[in-house]
Amino acid sequence: MVIRMNEFMLLKVLDKLQPLFTKMDIDYPVMRQILQLKLTMDTRRVPTIFNDSNNKSGNQFLKSLAVYALMGLMLLLFIFGDNYLMQMSIYYAVVMFILMTSVISDFSSVLLDVRDKMILHTKPVNERTINCAKVLHITFYLVQLTIAFTAISLVVGLVQHGIVFFLLSLLILVFVNLLILIMVAFSYIFILRYFDGEKLKDIINYMQILLSVSMIVGYQLVIRSYNHVEFSTTFSFEWWQLFLPPFWYGAIYQLVLADGPFSSQIILLASLGVIVPIIALLIYIQLIPTFERNLEKLMSNNGQNKRASYWWSRLWEKVVIWNHEEKVVYRFAVSMLKNERDFKLKVYPLVAMSFVFPFIFLLNSVSFQTEGELGASNNYFWFYFSLLSIPTSVLMLKFSENHRAVWIFRASPMTNKKIVERSVLKAYFVRLFLPVYLLVGGAFCYIFSMRIALFLVAVLLATLFWIKISSIVYFQGAFPFSEEYKGSQSLESVKAIILMIGMGLFALIHYLIIFSDMYHTIFIVLLILANIILWRK
């Protein structure tokens, strides 16, 4: 019987090049097998960009390419016009940012796969073959990603600026890819040199979060700033531009496509774009053995780690915690929220959105109003957009990478298991919602003056109210951190939408009674009562 695995186009192309590999002292059939295995595994991995997608069937990677192609549309902003230096610099800044974050978040596992050491290096396969498979694998991924992301803008560029522009772009993208790969590898070498594997995993985790956030927020900003983009500014050379690769490539366009004469600075910038990747590549080849050695750090831990400080949550502990059992679970939950990478990856982007959305909508309104009008308006109601992250965040509290460890709750002599849920919700509130509330609230106080104090009190109460309601909807007696992460099921999405509609109606009612201080006070008193009833249980 033969094991059926996907046949990949890439492998068929490589088959044609077989003699070349054999000449390079590479065991081609073995390398082909390794590569096939890796590519098959890729199709089963869910890329970060699909953070909250639900079905895991089909080729995840191909689907993510479609998303990248869609995101690539934003590059069109920088294609029109002929101030090449400025607009192409921004173009490459965006390209490099997206490619780099996505390489780090989704392909670190390839660069840093320690299982390779256990599984491949124990077999009679030579080192060259394994390394070659690794390099081809990453290159293949990066090329696909680059094509997906830039194809549309390049075609538009072809029509707009002609064939020279197009071919030049292709050439430059090769250099850009090389540069990205080496930059990522260098940063890993650096991090592993000075820190241990756990630190690196943390850094990768934060990169993934950054990617998710920039995906959402960046989109909002790009769409909204569309009208304001102008490239009329003339270029003036500054020394720091020498350190920013996007300028190197902007300069190359300027050099090739614009009319002279050119300043020596532009020639310097352009030549850096070619020379640096080549030098970096040479250094990198020298450093590969060091890299492999440092990789071993990922498997062992050698760190005498410092104790994490929890000053923020300890500060609020005195306010929100009522008894000893609650304190124990609260502290546990705070550590879980701090340490669980999957949770952070899913919830931190939401927290960032809660922080940014009120301001985005506020900015939108600003364009129609003067400063005085804004200060006197009801625009502070955009604050309610912060609350939209609550249902999904609370839902995520149900899951954990270590969901089986929940036996400890059942085996413990706690008298009231309801305390667990309540304390975890409090930890979530203190650690993840309160900072957003204080920052947005503070900013709004500054913009709208203290007249919104009563409103802010009401929002805080509403937050507590909706956190509890969400937990009633989602937990239904289950322990927090007791289930395995799986793509959100449709039922749970429906629940989230219903909760959000509920919040919308709630905000609307609040909006309708805001004119009267008396109604507003009654509203607040009712909220206090509702919270007491809900949270006391």
Residues numbered 339 to 378 that lie near another protein (CB under 8 A) are: 339-341
How far, in Å, CA of 333 to CA of 71, rounded?
36
Q: What is the CA radius of gyration of the chain?
A: 27
Cβ neighbours, 10 Å, residue 310: 14
Selected from 107, 332, 357, 474, the binder of another protein by CB under 8 A is 332
Look up residue 345 and give its two tokens.
């990856």
- Number of Cβ atoms within 10 Å of the Cβ of 282: 10
Provide the token pair at 165: 């522009």
Q: Kindly provide the b/e burial profile for residues 39-60, where b requires at least 16 CB atoms within 10 angstroms of the residue's own CB.
A: beebeebebbbbbeeeeeeeeb
Residue 65 or 333 having the CB closest to another protein: 333
CB of 414 to another protein, least distance (A): 6
In the list 170, 285, 405, 505, the residue contacting another protein (rule: CB under 8 A) is 405
Residue 304 binds another protein (CB under 8 A) = yes
Task: Please identify, among the stretches 49-57, 160-168, 300-308, 426-434, the one whose residues bind another protein according to the rule CB under 8 A.
Answer: 300-308
Question: If binding is defined by CB under 8 A, does position 323 make contact with another protein?
Answer: no
> Of the candidates 168, 481, 495, 507, which one interacts with another protein according to CB under 8 A?
481
CB of 188 to another protein, least distance (A): 18
Judged by CB under 8 A, the residue of 187, 335, 377, 493 near another protein is: 335
Please tell me whether residue 117 binds another protein under the rule CB under 8 A: no
Of 72, 157, 197, 245, which lies in the binding site for another protein, with binding defined by CB under 8 A? 197
Nearest-approach distance from CB 528 to another protein, in angstroms? 30
Between the CA atoms of 50, 51, 57 and 59, what dihedral angle is there, to the nearest 10 degrees?
A: 30
- Rounded to a whole number of angstroms, the distance between the first and last alpha carbons of the chain is 60
The nearer residue to another protein, 301 or 449, going by C-beta atoms, is 301
What DSSP character marks residue 399? B
User: Where does residue 384 fall: left (phi above 0), alpha (psi -120 to 50 degrees), or beta otherwise?
Assistant: alpha
309 binds another protein (CB under 8 A): no
The alpha carbon of 307 is separated from its chain's Cα centroid by a whole number of angstroms, namely 27
Instruction: Name 399's bridge partners.
Output: 483
Amino acid making up residue 373: E
Q: Is residue 413 at the binding interface for another protein, with CB under 8 A as the rule?
A: yes
Binds another protein by CB under 8 A, chosen from 331, 366, 500, 506: 331
Q: Is the Cβ of residue 109 or residue 335 nearer to another protein in the bound state? A: 335
CA atoms lying within 13 Å on the CB side of residue 193: 10
**Residue among 379, 394, 403, 408 at smallest CA distance from 483:** 403
Q: Do 492 and 392 meet the contact criterion of CB atoms below 8 Å apart?
A: no
Paired residues of 483 in beta bridges? 399
Which of 263, 402, 489, 490 binds another protein (CB under 8 A)? It is 402
Q: Do residues 145 and 68 make contact, with C-beta atoms less than 8 angstroms apart?
A: yes
Give the shortest CB-403-to-another protein separation in angstroms: 9
Question: Closest separation between CB of residue 304 and another protein, Å?
Answer: 5
Q: Select the span of 17-25, 178-186, 207-215, 402-410 touching another protein (CB under 8 A).
A: 402-410
Q: Which is nearer to another protein, 3 or 163 (CB)?
A: 3
Is residue 516 part of the contact set for another protein (CB under 8 A)? Answer: no
Q: Where are the beta strands (DSSP E) in 319-441?
A: none
Rounded to whole angstroms, the Cα distance separating 101 from 188 reads 13
Q: Applying CB under 8 A, does 317 fall inside the site for another protein? A: no
Q: Note whether 421 binds another protein by CB under 8 A.
A: no
Contacts with another protein by CB under 8 A: the residue count is 37
Looking up tokens 């629940």 gives: 495
* Binds another protein by CB under 8 A, chosen from 9, 163, 308, 319: 308
- Window of 11-19, 21-29, 327-335, 425-433 that interacts with another protein by CB under 8 A: 327-335
Contact footprint for another protein (CB under 8 A): 196-198, 301, 303-308, 324-325, 327-329, 331-332, 335-336, 339-341, 400-402, 404-405, 407-415, 481
